[in-house]
Amino acid sequence: MSAPTVTPGLDTAPTSHPRLLAWVREVAELTTPERVVWCDGSAPEWERLTGELVDAGTLVRLNPSLKPNSFWSRTDPSDVARVEERTFICSVDEADAGPTNNWMAPAEMKRTMTELYRGCMTGRTMYVIPFCMGPLTAENPMFGVEITDSAYVVASMRVMTRMGQQALDKMGDDADFVACLHSVGAPLAPGESDVLWPCNDTKYISHFPETREIWSYGSGYGGNSLLGKKCYSLRIASAIARDEGWLAEHMLILKLTSPEGDVRYIAAAFPSACGKTNLAMLEPTIPGWTVETLGDDIAWMRFGSDGRLYAVNPEYGLFGVAPGTDWKTNPNAMRTLARGNSIFTNVALTDDGDVWWEGMGEPPAHLTDWHGNDWTPTSDRPASHPNSRFCTPISQCPILANEYEDPKGVPIDAILFGGRRKTTIPLVTQARDWTHGVYLGATISSETTAAAAGKVGVVRRDPMAMLPFIGYNAGDYLRHWIEMGKGAEGDPDKLPKIFYVNWFRRGDDGRFLWPGFGENSRVLKWVVERLNGTADAVETPVGFVPASSSLDVSGLDLSEADLAAVLAVDAEEWRSEIPQVTEWFEKFGDKLPGVLWSELDALKARLGIE
């Protein structure tokens, strides 16, 4: 028997883009899929793919009267999070990957992965997904094309990106695109039946910043497989942004309107599973204030001709942490999900075909847990995985701001950095100036979460919440931030003001000192009042914190002692951070901007060290 000479679908491409056609052919020849499918992004395509996934058992259709057009899926128990240990920045020069990334020479990585990819799509369909990060109406639309052998990835990419025929048409015959190759790494022999969640124990998430390529192998989990997201919009885009003088950041974007109608735009960078999606969709508890959502994970920020920094959300959907999401904590997420059209991964399934996860109130008497097993409230394991996710269209968010589709973006007034720390870091601190703000961002510390494979709860430095996402040398990245502070017109007044927040400080008894969620609107109000020059602050060694009377806590059930504790700057705690910060900075060698050493020296002096 001879192999078919033409792979079905290969010669019926709906494009004549020469580079794209050549690449698709090359990948098909290497990976030997049964057929090639060009994704158009249409509703019938979604129906067909989700239908096939339901037939295969990978997706379970939820009860249409509760969650219309929505699906439940479970991954392989080993494939539940981003794999930072297996993530590589393959710059030509090792120094360009820097002290914080894994590196392998591009030629060597390509040799290794080419052997993994050889025949890896045997028995499977190879999908070609043209997509665009950011509005298609942008002056320079940022295209990508993902090749994948996972229909789950195609369906998820339809939620998360502007994809399909609209992107392909806009690309014409000569648009540049980031080539994104993904395989679950699980070829099927003739007659071999598929598993629910194919993946491979060998995993690589590789980035080639010079040639703007991404090669992902072995994992189907979103952060490793939806290559438009962290891989393109952060790792590759940050390298492009360095070259072109803009910023690709791990930030939510929100619009905040005061009772008087003053509009402010705020971007905030928190590490994964530290509160971006929740803050982006916040329902303020203080009367008269409104929040509208622009983005919950990624911001691309460029200076406008007026010298202000404008932010665009390149994504089209929300890929949010499920546990903890509830009508009390994040009602806007619940409303978004109620509209359907969502994919839930590794949450629990209720007997009436809805989803459930920890933090969603009292559990029902019986569930199917994320392993597919029976679960009752007496079970000793959580029903949902702590990094279980919802994937849902951002257009369904009831508080989506009108500016969302504006390719120009919104002018950012304030940047919040934040992390998850039980101790030390006050609820909110204002930086003295841009450089001090960059220092605060450069030294963010946060307890690790279930969003990445590995130990949870270990404090690590996470510069600008970008540690796993900087696509080049982190020292150069910090220098780029310092450079951005010179502004487009050398006017520091036009720069966003920088703040540092921590919703996660705990009391001696282990409970959160600050109620968080909607109550974080009180912190946003203080931020705006600082921008307006109307709120009092106390200058401490680490920056400006609210004078206890300047934070609006009216109507809040919070004791004086807890308020004091959540705002406290304890010099002893801060002195004990200094050795870690010093060690952190030493990692960067002479790449670290000298002004950041000066900031550390000034902090030490204010803390009475040396």
Active site residues: 274
Does the annotation place 2 within a ligand binding site?
no
Does the annotation place 366 within a ligand binding site?
no
Contacts for 298 with CB less than 8 Å, ≥ 6 apart = 229, 233, 234, 248, 249, 250, 251, 313, 314, 315
| 284 binding ligand PGA? (CB under 6 A) | no
The nearer residue to Mn ion, 439 or 469, going by C-beta atoms, is 469
Residues in 315-334 that interact with Mn ion by CB under 5 A: 320
Residues that bind ligand GDP (rule: CB under 6 A) add up to a total of: 20
* Residue of 207, 276, 479, 530 that binds Mn ion (CB under 5 A): 276
| 387 binding Mn ion? (CB under 5 A) | no
Residues in 546-565 that interact with ligand GDP by CB under 6 A: none
The tokens describing 604, both together, are 């030490």
How much helix, strand and coil, in percent to the nearest 5, is found in the chain?
30, 20, 45
CA diameter of the chain: 82
Strand 389-393 versus strand 343-345 pairing type? antiparallel
| 297 binding ligand PGA? (CB under 6 A) | yes
The nearer residue to ligand PGA, 109 or 160, going by C-beta atoms, is 160
In angstroms, what CA-CA distances link 604 with 310, 497, 571, 607?
34, 23, 10, 5
Contact 516, 505 (CB under 8 A): no
DSSP string for 558-590: --HHHHHHHH---HHHHHHHHHHHHHHHHTTGG
Check the CA dihedral 398-403-407-411 and report its sign. negative
Residues in 357-376 that interact with Mn ion by CB under 5 A: none
- Residues 76, 78: Cα–Cα separation, whole Å: 5
The nearer residue to ligand PGA, 38 or 517, going by C-beta atoms, is 517
The nearer residue to ligand GDP, 207 or 230, going by C-beta atoms, is 230
| 451 binding ligand PGA? (CB under 6 A) | yes
Binding mask 494-533 for Mn ion (x = CB under 5 A): ----------------------------------------
* Residue of 275, 284, 331, 543 that binds ligand GDP (CB under 6 A): 275
Burial of 594 (0-12, 13-18, 19+ CB in 10 A): exposed
CB of 320 to Mn ion, least distance (A): 5
Does the annotation place 519 within a ligand binding site?
yes
The tokens describing 319, both together, are 């890929």
Binding mask 501-530 for ligand GDP (x = CB under 6 A): --xx-------x---xx--x----------
Residues in 324-383 that interact with ligand GDP by CB under 6 A: 324, 329
Residues in 63-82 that interact with ligand PGA by CB under 6 A: 82
Residues paired with residue 392 on neighbouring β-strands, in sequence order: 318
The nearer residue to Mn ion, 198 or 386, going by C-beta atoms, is 386
The tokens describing 353, both together, are 């075909």
The nearer residue to ligand GDP, 103 or 512, going by C-beta atoms, is 512
* Residue of 130, 185, 223, 437 that binds ligand PGA (CB under 6 A): 223
Task: Please choose which of ligand PGA, Mn ion, ligand GDP, none residue 82 contacts, taking the beta carbon within 5 to 8 angstroms, the exact cut-off set by kind.
Answer: ligand PGA
Among the listed ranges 19-27, 162-170, 272-280, 601-609, the one in contact with ligand GDP (CB under 6 A) is 272-280
Contact 138, 158 (CB under 8 A): no
3-state secondary structure 410-440: EECCEEEEECCCCCCCCCEEECCCHHHHHHH
What residues make contact with ligand GDP under the rule CB under 6 A?
A: 270, 272-278, 296, 320-321, 323-324, 329, 503-504, 512, 516-517, 520
